[in-house]
Amino acid sequence: MKRTRQNKLSNHRKKKVSKSAQYHEQNQTPESNTEESVQLPRKKVRWEGNSESVAAVADTENGSSDDDARTSKRVRSRGRIAGAYYDSVRCIVYVLEDTQEDVHFDLTNMLLEQCNADVVLTSSKADDPFISILQKFAEASGGVFQIRPHKEFTPHRGRDRLLSLRFLSELTTEDSGQCLSSDSSSGAEPRNAYEFMQKRKQAAGDPTMKRWNAAIRLANYASVESSLCISCLGALLDYLARERAAGDLDDDAGVEGLNISGIEVLTIDQVMHINADALFSLQIFENESHASIHSDKTKEGLSLFGILDNTRTPLGRSLLRTWLMRPSLSIPVITARHDAIECFLHPENLAPASALQTHLKGIKNIPRILGLLQSGKAGVGDWQGLVKFTYHSAMLRDALAELHRGDQVEVVRKLVASLDIASFKDTGNAVNETIDWEESTNNNRICVRPHIDEELDQRKHVYAGLDAVLSKVAEQTCQKIPVDYTASLNVVYFPQLGFLICVPMQEEWRSEEGIKVLDGWSFQVKDMDTHIGDLHPSIVDREIEIVQELLERILVFSEGMRQACDICAELDCLLAFAEASRAYNYCRPQMSEDSIIDIDQGRHPLQEQVVDIFVPNSAQLVGGVGLGDSAESQAEVDSLPIYSSIVLCTGANACGKSVYLKQVALIQYMAQVGNHSSFVPAVSATLGIVDKIFTRIQTRESVSKAQSAFMIDLNQVSLALRNCTANSLILLDEFGKGTIPADGTGLFCGVIKHLLNRGSQCPKVLAATHFHEIFQKDMLDPHKFPITFLHMQVLFTSSKGSLNPGDMSVSGDSDSTNHERVEPTSVVAPGEKITYLYRVSPGLSRNSHAAQCATMFGLPSRIAQRAQYVSKLLSDHELGQLLEERMTAEEQENIEAAGIAAYKFLAMDLTNDSHEKDIKPRLAEALGRAPHE
């Protein structure tokens, strides 16, 4: 006998009938919601050691890199390194085959910076220096570092995990589906263990066949035969499986249940090497904290990524960030993408390009949605996203057809070929005709439309008529029960419990005698259980079967959908580049096989966004022009007016030298962005390929680093010197300022001479300095070294209003060339004002005008004037005047007398023995004293 107290049902829907009889219908139970798509919160996992909390690996809807959780594995053995990392947005595992590493771990640092891993794992048998590098990276980036047991990094274990991946081992075939359907229709239950294992084998597939399929298909994705690489993959997959199990306690699928859609090889030799310091100095990315101190969210600030990110899709945003992390070195690929941007910028293509972006905005993260569909966790929004993709893909196809000369663009041709509109349309129609969107939203689960399945319609019809049935049963029951037993009752239906009669608890039933039950009565309506049955679970089960059949039809086209989404992400990025080029007046650069940089009227893409007027400047560099090789290199490239590999810029403080250095690097960088490229802020540009960019611009100090600011600067320059080639670009902004001027001058001059001594392997270098003493004959003599000397022009205004363009003077030599022009070194008179022109001009500036700069920015004028006076005395080597300023007149007379006495003493001839007796009188005479004193 079952009973339910009335007060427990007070929150449920009720309907009054005669004699106060009531019924209750319970629509959902926890058991009936097993197929609902629940958005789980990001779980926090506390790891051993001192590492911080880390979010479990999970997909994000917007594809933001701030939420882009990545896991990385690194192993180093006998001077070689291999690795693997997982991109949770694209659901792809990237692998790096065994590669030789140097003693400085430069490749390891580059991999860590490019992968930007949140979690880094390595083997317990890794080298201590290697472990130290990984730990420092995790601490600096706020990630998690773990040392896992070496047994997790074995090739045999890794190969087993790799061959267990679903996308490799499972092949979609019609035969398997027919076999499953015939077995299910037979209804025969296994009668012994052998039959049970046979049915399980038919349902799950032959394990041996799965491994064979995986081994064959693996070669289609990547070559991972090296032992270290496979070991890393095994540890990576084990970690992802543990994270998945922690997020879903009911999931015991292991590695087979991971949402991995592909494996790609990480090729380092095809991308530009740009480390974290260069990315930070050039402001490629900039995260701004949330205004609230209680929020850990960030947003993109003023950065190159921020002004280029006009993407409409989550996959496009993720791909754009990847492109910015890995600029390309392939001229054909870059040129093909330039053609695409130029096509989108054509006046006739403005409307089609806008339509393309509109329809791209409706395309969601289809790889993620397909993964949720396969795992059975997709919600109503995910199914709607799939239908929207099928609609917008058809609209994209129509918009692509309207592009003027679109058939000549590679990305357009690829997308047209990948969009199987007929199949996508059938998929969208099938989903839309099967799923009842309104009912699914109300019930928070996937519901099926009427007239899809006759059996389901009958069950729903009976279920919908329960209101009248229960009301009638409640009336009949009330008539049969005495009034003195209960004044009201409920007839309710609970899924998986059945039909129950519920009466209010009486006070007399609370005694020791308990509940009084009428003879021959039970609180359970067994007749309704027999004739009607448990309707709600049967409806849910049947809808799950129908949705599963629909899913099997959809997954046939899953690979085509993923491929189309990848190309849509590429199109999204190129359209974003075109929009930025149109908004900011960017031009198409001409890519060259030569190692040159020739920029006409270039601009800084970020600085011009924050100033009213930006003054453009040109730049010319040629790689490989060192000592003894300048004539040969000049003969190779006759079109350039300046043929130096090193450009040295001087000028006043705050005159724009750093902006000039950065804008040249950013223009080169933008031309090679990712596997594709964007236009650049200039009137015109001819650019060769730069394989690496190194910077010594900004020093990122931290109390967690056991290094001084000067040591950090030395590390940046050392990295550049060890790894640069003739095709590299190095930026040195006031290198050496962190120590005493003598040492800083020597280090800066030594670095420049070392690079020049490389001859044909001299990289392209842009440097700025305030060490004016290096321009001497014994150091960097402008007449002897193949260096282009530039300075930033300034204009002086006297108190009377007259103008003095002090930077336009040249040296007195009539044969002087542009790089020998020298600005006057005279000190600016008090009262004169300095105006920065931000214009690059040939020649040297031998004065930093620090006093004028200090006055402009609030330092009292008397302090600035005193600084000018002291600087003049230092340059004239007259430090004695500084000592005399605090002396009295008597002290000055004594010093003057002492100087005269010293002069007379030095003039004495003490070599003749005949004058030995005259020593004392002569000394007394020199001191101005009487002999007897």
Do 651 and 622 sit in the same domain of this protein?
Answer: yes
Do 798 and 691 sit in the same domain of this protein?
Answer: yes
Do 672 and 746 sit in the same domain of this protein?
Answer: yes
User: Is 25 within a domain?
Assistant: no
User: Is 163 within a domain?
Assistant: yes
pLDDT at 774 over 70: yes
pLDDT at 615 over 90: yes
Residue in 601, 597, 932 with CA at minimum distance from that of residue 765:
597
Residue 512: how many other CB atoms lie within 10 Å = 4
SS3 for 55-91, per residue?
A: ECCCCCCCCCCCCCCEEEEEEEECCEEEEEEEECCCC
Structural domain boundaries, residue 359: 273-280+297-451+558-584
Three-state DSSP state, 138: helix
Per the structure, the count of domains in the chain is 6
| DSSP secondary structure letter of residue 594 | S
Name residue, tokens 């996959």: 315
pLDDT at 840 over 80: yes
Q: Per mean pLDDT, which range of 36-50, 405-419, 702-716, 829-843 is the poorest?
A: 36-50
Percent of the chain topping pLDDT 70:
74
Q: Where is mean pLDDT largest: 153-167, 539-553, 878-892?
A: 539-553
The helix-helix angle for 366-375 and 380-401 (nearest 10°) equals: 150
Do 595 and 501 sit in the same domain of this protein?
Answer: no
Please state the φ and ψ torsions of residue 232, each to the nearest 5 degrees.
-65, -40
Residue 27: how many other CB atoms lie within 10 Å = 14
Q: Per mean pLDDT, which range of 42-51, 441-450, 652-661 is the poorest?
A: 42-51
Q: How far is CA 383 from CA 427, 439, 442, in A?
A: 11, 14, 15
User: Is 289 within a domain?
Assistant: no
User: Is 24 within a domain?
Assistant: no
Do 366 and 392 sit in the same domain of this protein?
Answer: yes
DSSP assignment of 813-838, as one string?
-TT--GGG-B---PPPPTT-EEEEEE
Do 203 and 118 sit in the same domain of this protein?
Answer: yes
- Vertex 765, ends 762 and 770: CA angle to 5°? 130
pLDDT at 41 over 50: no
Residue 65: how many other CB atoms lie within 10 Å = 21
User: Is 2 within a domain?
Assistant: no
pLDDT at 397 over 80: yes
Q: Which residue has the higher pLDDT, 577 or 674?
A: 577
Do 657 and 761 sit in the same domain of this protein?
Answer: yes
828 and 849 in contact (C-beta within 8 Å)? yes
User: Is 21 within a domain?
Assistant: no
User: Is 815 within a domain?
Assistant: no
Residue 804's pLDDT band, with cuts at 50, 70 and 90, is low
CA pair distance 864, 862, nearest whole angstrom: 5
pLDDT for position 226? 66
Do 733 and 877 sit in the same domain of this protein?
Answer: no
pLDDT at 205 over 90: no
User: What are the residues facing 45 on neighbouring strands?
Assistant: 54
421 and 393 in contact (C-beta within 8 Å)? yes
Do 110 and 208 sit in the same domain of this protein?
Answer: yes
Q: Per mean pLDDT, which range of 162-176, 270-284, 337-351, 424-438 is the poorest?
A: 162-176
Do 541 and 568 sit in the same domain of this protein?
Answer: no
pLDDT at 172 over 90: no
Sheet with 70-77: strands ordered across: 144-148, 119-123, 70-77, 80-87, 92-100, 262-265
User: Is 553 within a domain?
Assistant: no
Look up the CATH number of the domain holding residue 618.
3.40.50.300
List, in order, residues 6 or more apart from 324 with CB less than 8 Å away: 284, 285, 304, 305, 308, 673, 674
Residue 249's pLDDT band, with cuts at 50, 70 and 90, is low
Do 793 and 659 sit in the same domain of this protein?
Answer: yes
CA pair distance 366, 675, nearest whole angstrom: 22
684-688 and 590-592 strand pairing:
parallel
Look up the CATH number of the domain holding residue 414.
1.10.1420.10
Please state the φ and ψ torsions of residue 765, each to the nearest 5 degrees.
-130, 130
Do 354 and 258 sit in the same domain of this protein?
Answer: no
